[in-house]
Amino acid sequence: MGAVGNVLGVVAIFLGRIPTPGVTQVALDFSSLAVVIVAIFAGWRLGALTGLIAGIGPMVMFGYVYGSTGIITVFLPIGKALTGLSVGLISQVIGSIRKPRTPFVIAAVLIGFVPEAVLTWFYFVNLVPFFLPGSFSGPTAATLVLVKAWAEMIIIAFLTVALIGNAGFRAFLGRIVPGQSFR
């Protein structure tokens, strides 16, 4: 699923650049879809690991292909790992694995994104200006990126609900996640 996340991220980033004046680093990134699915169905440990892996492609695309933020883009995989960890823990607490109902899943995904959103704000407001003075950073950049990210997470939440409702997908997950029943 880490590889799936990288493909979803890189393809979306490549095809879904959002035109913003003077900035090439704002683009769609759906790599978190794989992270959320793993976190909900397999738990926080695998969700966090999938986030670390699924964040590599977006890190490379944003840091080296479309920008010059270099090493500080390492926070992308860390943020995705935080989302995997949080969504997995929230899913476990509210029981979305046992009762995969729409409100539980949407709540787990949206609340689980909050730690990554806080890290994103910190990244653009504090780290980017420090390491790359004069670059696209600050509260305006953070707000723009976070509005886009929240829109993505809303879409991802509803895609996850649709996948959970699909009997074939649930049967597939039941075969690849040992010890879990998703019927």
pLDDT classification of 136: cutoffs 50, 70, 90: low
pLDDT classification of 25: cutoffs 50, 70, 90: low
Q: Helices (H), strands (E): how many in the chain? A: 10, 0
For the residues 61-76, what does the mean pLDDT come to?
A: 68
Q: For the chain, how many residues are written?
A: 183
Phi-psi group of 66: left, alpha or beta (phi > 0 → left; psi -120 to 50 → alpha; rest → beta): alpha
Residues 6 or more apart whose CB falls under 8 angstroms from that of 94 comprise 104, 107, 108
* Residue ranges of domains in the chain, CATH in brackets: 2-176 (1.10.1760.20)
Task: Supply the pTM of this predicted model.
Answer: 0.85
